[in-house]
Amino acid sequence: MTSLIRGGIIVTAEQTYRADVLCAEGKIAAIGKDLEAPSGCDIIDAGGQYVMPGGIDPHTHMQLPFMGTVASEDFYTGTAAALAGGTTSIIDFVIPDPEQSILDAYRTWREWSQKSAADYGFHVAITWWDESVHEEMGTLVREEGINSFKHFMAYKGAIMATDEIMYNSFTRALELGAMPTVHAENGELVFQLQKKLLAEGMTGPEAHPLSRPPAAEGEAANRALRFAETIGVPLYIVHVSTSEAVEELKRARAEGQRAYGEVLAGHLLIDESVYQNPDWDKAAAHVMSPPFRAPEHQEALWKGLQGGALQTTATDHCCFCADQKAMGRDDFTLIPNGTAGVEDRMSVLWHHGVGTGRLTMNEFVAATSANAARIFNIYPKKGCIAVGSDADIVIWDPAAGKTISAKTHHQNIDTNIFEGMRVKGLASHTLTRGALAYVDGDLRAVRGAGEYVKRPAFHASFDALAIQAAANKEKPVDRG
């Protein structure tokens, strides 16, 4: 398929300029003014609109088995909804059970993801440790294009990574040229607070944020950063939700650490008052971890995104419908944790970021695609408008608007955390590797059209290279 995007203004993380974009064979073939359309080429009129890299959501959970149920969104419905909102790639999570082979879990997720309509990759969680995990991490990096490993510092008794697991996994990641990521909450503190609140008779959603106070996130962020600092490995902290965690990232980066932070669109825009809703179902619909926070944390998150302490935006898209949430009607700790957002991330961030002056258009592109592509080593294949890049493109109409609602969204969930929010600025066209997947309200997503994206390892440390060379009785190679 060949298409020519004509008359638009290209916006990347670095620059803004007017030019046409020619897409052919899944790639951007040419960029320039008044490009000639090849014979049989589809012409897309982007006059008055912006041409930007398709969004990359680096944190989703499609089809996730979790807390006694399975997320309602599968890899087809979830990626189709993403395309409707201008997001063309996701990085999802393989989460092995304790004692399960991480390679076997990876193969299971790869099978599930064959139905994806958009391109996708995976982080792999480390939920336990022995020599087999050590070996299989190497296989995943070298053969399967995995360059990031997730550690849940919460969910005691299930998938929580102990300090010992984190030490071993972070050290192995350094050897392999991979990057650890963490869900930063002190799992023991959360567990004890949950027990205390239940004993006091607090069983509803209002207890959820009380069991996961900001201090639990701040402590865990500090601990993970200090681990990474000691070991000498970069670190990426997912869904940063508190001023305390932002301050820890600022400190680490000021001290020279390669430390990165992700913020969810929901944490930027929704506060903890949602848990006080007298309608149990509506309150429970917002139960996720970390929880939504007090307004002062939202301000800190915006400043962190503006100032560089936070680099990426995501959704933690993990859908559970009302009947699933009801599993915890008598015990808030049993409410499946998760909310949606993959379809709305781009529009709410444009409206509340670019529309308010908090972000420039170029900063918007950095936060919604380019930074994730750089951090996870798929730039400029993704996150860029350049000759040779994948033709993952969103044509953005800054004048278009809508009211977000579960009644009209494409996500496979019966609620929307942004319900009733009016936004201005929407995708008019979404192209995934040059194919039109969304056109002015017409979703044309194709089941199975998405491709798995391998992410190359980063340069391993010199020490790791030296150790390997010594084992092979070879002279170490200085990679510079």
What is the CATH classification number for the domain harbouring 33? Answer: 3.20.20.140
**Other beta carbons within 10 Å of 322:** 14
pTM of the model: 0.95
> Hunting for tokens 């939504």 — which residue is that?
292
**Total domain count, the chain:** 1
Report residue 452 as tokens.
């798995």
Q: H or E element: which one contains 402? A: strand 393-403
CA distance 223 to 217: 10
C-beta atoms surrounding 254 within 10 Å? 10
Return d(Cα 372, Cα 84) in angstroms, integer.
Answer: 20
What gap in Å lies between CA 477 and CA 480, rounded to an integer? 9
Contacts of residue 316, defined as CB under 8 A and 6 or more positions apart, other chains included, come to 59, 60, 61, 238, 239, 264, 266, 288, 338, 339, 341
Q: How far apart, in whole angstroms, are the C-alpha atoms of residue 271 and residue 286? A: 10
Residue 229's CB is within 10 A of a number of other CB atoms, namely 16
Q: 150 by DSSP, 3-state: which?
A: strand
Do 186 and 153 touch, CB atoms closer than 8 A?
yes
Q: At what angle do helices 462-471 and 163-176 cross, to 10 degrees?
A: 80
Spell out the per-residue pLDDT of the chain, length 480, in tens: 899 999 999 999 999 999 999 999 999 999 999 999 999 999 999 999 999 999 999 999 999 999 999 999 999 999 999 999 999 999 999 999 999 999 999 999 999 999 999 999 999 999 999 999 999 999 999 999 999 999 999 999 999 999 999 999 999 999 999 999 999 999 999 999 999 999 999 999 999 999 999 999 999 999 999 999 999 999 999 999 999 999 999 999 999 999 999 999 999 999 999 999 999 999 999 999 999 999 999 999 999 999 999 999 999 999 999 999 999 999 999 999 999 999 999 999 999 999 999 999 999 999 999 999 999 999 999 999 999 999 999 999 999 999 999 999 999 999 999 999 999 999 999 999 999 999 999 999 999 999 999 999 997 543 444 334 444 443 333 333
Domain residues for the domain of 80 are 1-480
Structure tokens at 287: 């139960």
CA–CA separation, 463 and 480 (whole Å): 13
Res 459: pLDDT: 74
Helices (H), 232-260: 243-254
**What DSSP character marks residue 332?**
G
Instruction: Give yes or no for a contact between 9 and 23, defined as CB atoms under 8 angstroms apart.
Output: no
pLDDT at 330: 97
The DSSP code for 118 is: S
Burial 235-249 (b: 16+ CB within 10 A, else e): bbbbbbbbbbbbbbb
